[in-house]
Structure 1
Amino acid sequence: MSRHPTPALPRWATWWQRPFPDANTLLLHGRQPALIDTGFVGHAEETAAWARAQAGTAIGLVVNTHWHSDHVGGNALLQAQGAAIAAGAPEAEAISRRDPGCCAAEYLDQPVAPYTVDVSLDDGQVLRLGDTDWEVVRTPGHTPGHLALWQPDERLLVVGDALSDYDVGWVNLALDGLDAATTALASLKRMADLAPRVILPSHGPIPTDPEAAFAAAVRRAQRLVDDPDGAVRYGARRIFAFALMIRGGIPAAEAEPYLHARTWLTDAARLLDTTPESLATELITTMTRAGAIALRDGRLHATTPHTPSPAETLRVPYPRTWPPPKRP
C-alpha cells in the first residue's frame, strides 16, 4: 500500500481515467468549459456525451497535449458541436497546411477524423481554461509538438504522454531524429523543476508521489538515451500493441504481412540494421513470450486492458485526403 494518498483535485477540475485506446481526459469547469484531450475516434460519441454531462453545457475549448490518435479522436465531433481546438504551434501549423503526416495517422495506421486547429499555442503562453489560468510548457520528445499545461496556483501539471506512474512515452527516432530521446529527457527534467503537487498523465492513475514519479521517469528516459536500439524496439512494441487494441486483434496468419506493410516497422528495421521480415517475427515472438500479446480464437490480441472500438468508427480518411480547413 502506498504511503502517499492520491493528491486531491480542486472542485473546478474533473478527471476521467480511461483504459486504452483512449487517453485520460481532464474537464475544467467554468463559464466556458475546457477539455484537455479527447480520446480515440472510436469513442468520440462517449467523450462528447461525458463532457457535456459533466460540464452541464457545451465545451468551449479543447486543448490537445499532442496529436496522436488517442488524444485527438473526439476533436472533430466536439468541433462540430461548437468547440474551438488548441494545439502546440508545430502541430497546429502542420494541420493548417493539411500536411500528409498530420497526427502520424497514416504512418502509424491509426485513424483520426479530420479537424482544424483554431488556437496555436507557444511556450509560456497563458491560457484561460474554464475559470483558471494555465501556462503552456513545451515538452517535445514523444512528439516534436508535445506540450504540458501548468496551473501554478494549485500546482497542477498535465503531462500528456511524457510520463505516467509506470512508464515514459516512447520516442520515434526515425521520424523525429536520433536526439528525440535526449529531448524527451530534457523535457522531463524541465517539468520536474516545477515541483508539481499533482501530476496528471494521459495514461494510468494519478501518481501518489510526484517527486518519485519524476525520478523513476528520468531513469527510464535515460535508458532510452543510452540504448537507442532498445528505444526503437520499445516504440515498435507500443505501436503494434495499439494496432491490436483498436482492431480487436489481427488474425494470426495476417499479423506478419500487416507488419511488413507498415512504414514505422520498415523504419525501425532500418535503424536496427535488420529486415522488416526479421523484425516482424522478432516482435511477435518477444511480445508473445512476455505476455504482451496472446493468441485467442486464431487472432493475436493485446493483453493490456482496453475498450473495444466499433470497426465502422475506424473508417476515416488519412490526412492526405482531409478536406481543406474551414476559414471563418
Structure 2
Amino acid sequence: MSPQPSLPSWATWWQRPFPDANTLLLHGQQPALVDTGFVGHAEETAAWAHAHAGELGLVVNTHWHSDHVGGNALLQAQGATVAAGAPEAEAIGRRDPGCCAAEYLDQPVAAYTVDVPLDDGQVLRLGDAEWEVVRTPGHTPGHLALWQPEERLLVAGDALSDYDVGWVNLAVDGLEAATTALASLERMADLAPRVILPSHGPIPADPGAAFAAALRRTQRLVDDPDGTVWYGARRIFAFALMIRDGIPTDDVEPYLHARAWVTDAAQLLDLTPESLVTELVTTMLGSGAVIVRAGRLYAAADHTPVAAESLRVPYPRTWPVSEPR
C-alpha cells in the first residue's frame, strides 16, 4: 500500500464523517478555512478552527451544498470573510429561493452572505500560501477546486473521492451536467496533483489511481442518464435520513412525496412519484444502504448525529436581505 501523502506544516486536515464535509485549515497571518461542515455542527467547526488558528480571517467554499456551508453564518458573525464561486455568490447576493439547493433538497442552511466572489484563474492568499481558483462545474454549476502549485495540492470538493464521485442534478442543471463534470475531472487530472484533498473520505494514497477511477465512474454518469438520476436520489435520501436521526417508517413515503427532487426524478425516469418512492426505498433496503430499527428508517453509512433543533433555520426564500460588509 502506498504511504499517506504528506501535507505541509501550514495545512491542517480534518476528515469528518457525514453529514459534514472535510475541512482544511490553512495557517498563517490570515488563517483560512476551506468548507465549514453542516449547520448542526457549526459550533464544533468554529471551536475547532479557533483552537487551531485563533482568529479566522477567511472562509472559502468549494460549493454551496449544506454540508459545506453550514458553519458560514456563525464564522461570519465572528468576523470571517466568506468567499465562493461567482455564480453562487451572485445568487446568494440576490437571495434567490434556490440558493444552496436548501429548499429543493430539504437540507437546512443558516443565512450567510458571500463577501468575495471567485473567478476561474483568480489567485488567493490562503494562510501564507497562494492558491489558484479552478472552476470545476458539474456537481453544482458554481463548484470550484483550489490548486497550490508549489506543493501540488488540489482541494477537489465533491468532484471525487477514493470511493465515489459527486452526484449531478440532471433535472435542475440540465442533461449536460454529467458531461460538464467529466470535463472538470479531466481538467483537474491534467494538473497531476501530488495530493488530492477530497470533501469526503480519506486523502487518496494514489492520486493517479483516484482520478482514473473517478473518470470511469463519471463516464458512466454520462452514458447512463437514468442511472445518474437513481444515483442522485439515493444520495439525497440517505443524507435526509442522516440529518434527521432517521424517519419513522410510517412517515417515509409522505416525506418523500413532498420533495421536489422526487417529482423531478420521477419525471426524468418516466415514472410516477409513487412508483419511484417504492422502488427507491425497496432497493436501498435490499442493498443495506438503509436499515429499519425500532420503527424508524436509518441511513446505514457512518455519520454523526445532529440535534433536531439545529435544523430549524429558514429557507433562503425568507433569508433577510444581505447588507454590504
TM-score, normalised relative to structure 2: 1.00
Distance 1:121 1:63 in 2: 9
Shift of 1:58: 1.0
In the alignment, what sits opposite 1:13? 11
In the alignment, what sits opposite 1:264? 261
Distance 2:115 2:74 in 1: 15
In the alignment, what sits opposite 1:46? 44
Shift of 1:327: 1.6
Distance 2:55 2:293 in 1: 42
DSSP-derived class of the 1:320 partner? helix
Distance 2:78 2:229 in 1: 39
In the alignment, what sits opposite 1:63? 60
Q: Deviations over 1:15-52 (max 9, x none)?
A: 00000000000000001100000000000000000000
Shift of 1:254: 0.6
In the alignment, what sits opposite 1:172? 169
DSSP-derived class of the 1:165 partner? coil
In the alignment, what sits opposite 1:131? 128
In the alignment, what sits opposite 1:219? 216
In the alignment, what sits opposite 2:31? 33
Distance 1:54 1:231 in 2: 39
In the alignment, what sits opposite 2:276? 279
Distance 1:251 1:185 in 2: 38
Q: Deviations over 1:52-88 (max 9, x none)?
A: 0011x11100000000000000000000000000000
Distance 1:178 1:59 in 2: 39
Give the alignment partner of residue 154 of structure 2, picking from 157, 174, 177.
157
Tell me which amino acid in the other structure corresponds to 1:209.
D
Q: How does 1:244-323 map to 2 (within 5 A)?
A: 244-323=241-320
Give the alignment partner of residue 112 of structure 1, picking from 103, 109, 112.
109
DSSP-derived class of the 1:150 partner? strand
Q: How does 1:180-191 map to 2 (within 5 A)?
A: 180-191=177-188
Distance 1:107 1:148 in 2: 24
Q: How does 1:221-240 map to 2 (within 5 A)?
A: 221-240=218-237
DSSP-derived class of the 1:35 partner? strand
Structure 1 residue runs of 5 or longer lacking an equivalent are none
Tell me which amino acid in the other structure corresponds to 1:10.
P
DSSP-derived class of the 2:211 partner? helix
Shift of 1:195: 0.1
Distance 1:43 1:109 in 2: 17
Tell me which amino acid in the other structure corresponds to 1:63.
V
CA RMSD of aligned residues (A): 0.4
Does the alignment pair 1:22 with 2:20? yes
TM-score, normalised relative to structure 1: 0.99
Q: Deviations over 1:253-308 (max 9, x none)?
A: 11011001100010000000001110000000000000000000100000000000
State percent identity of aligned pairs. Answer: 82
Does the alignment pair 1:210 with 2:207? yes
Shift of 1:238: 0.0
Shift of 1:154: 0.1
In the alignment, what sits opposite 2:195? 198
Distance 1:165 1:54 in 2: 27
Tell me which amino acid in the other structure corresponds to 1:182.
T
Distance 1:306 1:272 in 2: 30
DSSP-derived class of the 1:266 partner? helix
Shift of 1:116: 0.2
Shift of 1:245: 0.0
Distance 1:326 1:78 in 2: 16
Distance 2:11 2:251 in 1: 44
Distance 1:45 1:252 in 2: 31
DSSP-derived class of the 1:127 partner? strand
Distance 1:301 1:6 in 2: 32
Shift of 1:231: 0.1
Shift of 1:149: 0.1
Q: Deviations over 1:149-203 (max 9, x none)?
A: 0000000000000000000000000000000000000000000000000000000
Structure 2 residue runs of 5 or longer lacking an equivalent are none
Aligned length: 325
Shift of 1:326: 1.6
Tell me which amino acid in the other structure corresponds to 2:137.
P
Runs of 4+ in 1 over 6 A off after TM superposition: none
